[in-house]
Amino acid sequence: MESSVEQPSGRKTRLNGTTPMARLLPWLVLLAVVAAYSPSLPGSWIWDDWPQVARNSNLAHPLSLLLGDIRAGTDMPGTDHYRPLVMLSYVPGQWLLPGPLVERLINLALHLAAVLALAHIGLRLGASTSAAWLGAALLGLHPGASEAVAWVSGRHDLLPSLLFLWAWWAWLAGRPLLAGWLLGLAPFGKESFLLVPACALLWMLGSRRFSWSLLLPAALGPAAYLAIRHAIHLPMPSGVVGGDWGPALTAVSWRALKLAFVPMAPDALPPFVALPAPGWAFALLGLLLLFLARGRPILAGLLACLLLLVPAALASRQLGLLGDRYFYLTFAGCGAALAAARGKGRLPVAAWMLPLGLGVLTLARSSDWVSDSRLFSASMRADPGNPYAAFHLAYDLHTRQGDCQRAIPLYRVGRAVDARSGNNLQACLLNLGRYQEALEMGPALLQADPENPTPAANTARAAAALGLPDQAETYVREAIRRQPGRCHLALLLGNVLGQQGRLEEARQAFQHAQMLDASCQSGALKGLETVKRLLNQEQGQPEPGASPTRAPGSQAPQTP
């Protein structure tokens, strides 16, 4: 039982156990985190959320999520990302309450669990209660960690990081078997966590004790993950082996330092800029710290978090982008290290001004994660020449707001890095009736994107609208060669053939479109009715006073 005595000042202080303020501190930190992220909660689906969650038919068939990549149930091109644990985590929320709100709440709950884990890690590493929760608050409230939390698709980093943090706590708490199994699950959330056996070795090095109970399940998890990938014929992500390691490590390290010390710098689409040096110097420094980590659990734990930045560096080099979400564990490791370094010493009240200020910045940053328009507009304000941000903002203006006038100049900027910008620019020109410009873009777009049927189809529509049926037929047949089973291309061919007066061939094309896909049923029936009417006119006389009938396909072209 705890007891208390009166002090001369009249205040009560605890003789045993924790003070009332120490008991209140965790709740204050967790409530501050909730408040900081509250502006993002009413937001819509954003960016990759649309194909991966909102339009993913496999969420209705959870077992199928175990057998394919993250886009297996979508109409998007496949990826080499196999993350069944994260994909399964979307199922309960979308079953209970379809839409983004429940997923955003789940992300916030996962983040709070990570903050709680980090506070316990700090305590196990020798920090006082106030220092441990200060370190946890740095993770919870730093805007550099906001992408993983405020973005539904950021769960691909958030969930495996949470498993890692609770595994770290379990190891420090003397529960190696639990820690091992938690580590073993992490790769099923993201490929970069295949390195968790090395992290387990680092923890053992820091604690100067070896444990098969930790190492075996930590190694079995990645082994099982790789075996499943092989069984479902899904190759590992490309570009993970090769040169440019030094520049890649430099770029990632520089971005981490910038996020840590310039908290206004978070950006959804920071381009990857390979820096020539000193990437290998960072690697050598890591090796030096590795030799110093023996018997130093704080340093070993920090190195384990930093080790997982290596896959991020390779992925960033391949994608051309540096996701801020990659640094979530880096912030966690730094928070734990700072708390432990403070130890049991008295923490000045002024120290709490730092997480408070960071929380204000996160409050503003989380309000950007409510829509594509706000998010990518913020990226454009940070870097007006960013071609990635230009493409994504243009896509939102074009497809969701119907504003091609504003999208066109942004698509022109985006063409520097993304072939889709050119294709969508051509589609916007078609929508605005600028057919000659769309037609002139065609040859270059076809050459730049040799497998995609979209530029060929768009060019065919432009030629048809300009009354150039021969060119239109050439381009639409090229589009069909690139993607033979697409019913909308069969409809387009029927329209072009009808425009040429080749009505019997047009009828066959419309019938073929009917057979390919039910989504083309309405358009095919209208085309067949028009062909039938025109054939009747050829065989007889038009009705007196009837207005001339336009050939199928002469209507304004549409975006594919």
pLDDT at 472 over 70: yes
Residue 87 resides in a domain: yes
* pLDDT score recorded for residue 528: 86
pLDDT at 76 over 80: no
- Same domain assignment for residues 347 and 200: yes
Are 400 and 456 in the same domain?
Answer: yes
Residue 67 buriedness (CB in 10 A; 0-12 / 13-18 / 19+): middle
Mean per-residue pLDDT of the chain: 86
Q: What integer pLDDT is reported at residue 377 of this predicted model?
A: 93
Residues 413 and 523 in one domain: yes
pLDDT tens digit sequence for 182-192: 999 999 999 99
Q: Cα dist. 213→118, 141, 196, 294, 353 in Å?
A: 22, 34, 14, 20, 42
Taking each helix axis from N to C end, the angle separating 129-141 and 100-124, rounded to the nearest 10 degrees, works out to: 150
Assess whether 195 and 49 both reside in one domain: yes
User: Average pLDDT for residues 188-197, to the nearest whole number?
Assistant: 94
Q: Which of 310, 340, 366 is the last residue of a domain?
A: 366
Residues 451 and 330 in one domain: no
pLDDT of residue 135: 94
CA dihedral defined by 185, 191, 196, 199, rounded to 10 degrees? -140
Provide the pLDDT for residue 238. Answer: 61
pLDDT at 58: 86
Average pLDDT of the segment spanning 356-378: 94
Residue 8 is predicted with a pLDDT of 38
Q: What is the mean pLDDT of residues 366-393?
A: 92
Q: What region does 411 belong to: left with phi over 0, alpha with psi -120 to 50, or beta? A: alpha
Number of domains forming the structure of the chain: 2
In whole angstroms, what is the distance from residue 460 CA to residue 471 CA? 7
Give the pLDDT band (50/70/90) at residue 517.
Answer: confident
Mean pLDDT computed over 528-553: 60
Half-sphere exposure of 260 (CA within 13 A, CB side): 17
Q: Are residues 221 and 350 in the same domain?
A: yes
The reply to whether 424 and 501 lie within a common domain is yes
pLDDT score recorded for residue 521: 85
Q: Does residue 46 come out as left (phi exceeding 0), alpha (psi in the -120 to 50 range) or beta?
A: beta
Q: Is the pLDDT of residue 151 over 50?
A: yes
The whole-number average pLDDT for the span 98-102 is 94
Q: Which domain holds residue 433?
A: 384-538
Q: Is pLDDT of 303 > 80?
A: yes
Whole-number pLDDT of residue 545:
42
pLDDT digits over 111-142, tens only? 999 999 999 999 999 999 999 999 999 999 99
Q: Report the range of poorest mean pLDDT among 30-34, 120-124, 538-542.
A: 538-542
Q: Are 293 and 303 in contact (CB under 8 A)?
A: yes
Report phi then psi at 185, rounded to 5: -80, -25
- What local confidence, expressed as pLDDT, does residue 325 receive? 93
Indicate whether 361 and 388 sit together in one domain.
no
Q: Which of 142-146, 318-322, 466-470 has the highest mean pLDDT?
A: 142-146
**If you average pLDDT over residues 340-363, what whole number do you get?**
89
In a domain, 222, yes or no: yes
- Do 230 and 349 lie in a common domain? yes
Q: Backbone phi, then psi, for 5, in 5-degree steps?
A: -130, 155
pLDDT at position 64 is: 86
CA 431: distance to chain centroid?
29
The reported pLDDT for the residue numbered 72 is 75
Average the pLDDT over 88-96 and give the result: 93
- Interval 13-32 mean pLDDT: 73
Q: What is the percentage of the chain residues whose pLDDT exceeds 90?
A: 50
* Residue type (1 letter), 405: Q
Percent of the chain with pLDDT over 70: 90
